[in-house]
Structure 1
Amino acid sequence: MGKSPNPRRYERDEAVASAKLLKTSPQKLNLVAKMIRGMPVGRADAALQFSKRRIANDVRKVLLSAVSNAENNHQLDVDQLFIKEAYVGKAMTLKRYRPRARGRMGKIFKHFSRLTIVLKQKDYSGDISPMEAARLAGEMAVVSPDEQTEMDAAAIDAAADTPEADNDAAGETAAEGKE
């Protein structure tokens, strides 16, 4: 009989990478993790690459490791990945002492942190428009000239139906009659 096996912690379309001993405090690491949560992978990589925080380079390494895991171990499409979770935990703390006045000792704490990044594949096929999918993927949308013409015509029709447009048109005809 015995115990049943542990349930699967992550879904099949998710990839995980973690770092166990990052030399920074959890508070400082959480600022960087908070910055990339929910972002598409490409945009998060660019944000980490140009961040001024020292720990951003280590976070970027973990992110790239998660992308490699997704691509090689789970056969996920890299272009459709986004950061589902990026959470920080406390690891060990080294305690050091520094001599102070009157024979006392001052405690120095050197904090270490853990970081786990979970990537998920987002399927943009049916639920939203291609332009919205491209925006979420952090890319520029490519719109054909026919689609652009239809969108422009719809915008002009919508603007012409507003009461402000009617007032402007009436004011223009009255001004032309006075001249």
Structure 2
Amino acid sequence: MATESKEEVMEAKASARHVRVSPQKARRVVDLIRGKAATDAVTVLTFAPQSASDPVKKVLESAIANARVKADRESVAFDERNLVITAAFVDEGPTMKRFRPRAQGRAGRINKRTSHITVVVAQPENTKGAR
């Protein structure tokens, strides 16, 4: 019975901090995969034209690998086809401020924004006994 309670909370998380992509652009990509099956989401990110899809894909693959390691540690049956993205979000990281010369001796500020990308994958309860 103790192993059944561990299966119910089979959840893995991965995050990447200080990724050099603006949060607004990363959120567009994360919105594509939220709630999907993990394997389908990897396929979507592979063929997505946005440049932010590469770091999001790396974080998702890391979360899948974390789930595999957690399942091995707890001696639980693992099938990555059952994983679903339960949470995926992008937070704003620190902004690097740079200056460019502008007309008449002025300086214009350039904001180079960074993101913290977090993905959580879990096995839904209804598919555990199905396969």
Band of TM-score, shorter chain: 0.7 to 0.9
Contact kept? 1:12, 1:74, Cα under 8 Å = no
Aligned to 1:77: 79
Is the Cα–Cα contact under 8 Å of residues 27 and 89 in structure 2 kept in the other structure?
Answer: yes
Identity of aligned residues (%): 39
SS of the equivalent of 1:117 reads strand
- Counterpart contact for 1:77–1:121, Cα < 8 Å: no
Stretches of structure 2 that go unaligned for 5 or more consecutive residues are: 1-7, 73-77
Which of 106, 110, 113 lines up with 1:111 in the alignment? 113
**CA RMSD, Structure 1 to Structure 2 (Å):** 1.9
Q: Deviations over 1:74-133 (max 9, x none)?
A: 34431210000001001111111111112111000000000000001013359xxx8xxx
Superposed, 1:59-78 pairs within 5 Å as: 59-75=56-72, 76-78=78-80
TM-score, normalising length from structure 2?
0.83
Confirm or deny: 8 A CA contact 2:86 2:120 kept in the other structure: yes
Higher alpha-carbon Rg: 1
Counterpart residue type for residue 28 of structure 2: L
**TM-score, normalization by structure 1:** 0.62
For the pair 1:121 / 2:123, whether they are aligned, the reply is yes
Q: Which amino acid aligns with 2:103?
A: A
Aligned length in residues: 118
Match of 1:43? 40
Alignment-derived partner of residue 88 in structure 1: 90
CA contact (8 A) 2:82 2:127 kept: no
Q: 1:159 aligns to what? A: none
CA separation in 2, counterparts of 1:111 and 1:94? 6
Between the two structures, name the one with larger relative contact order (CA 8 Å, sep ≥ 6).
2
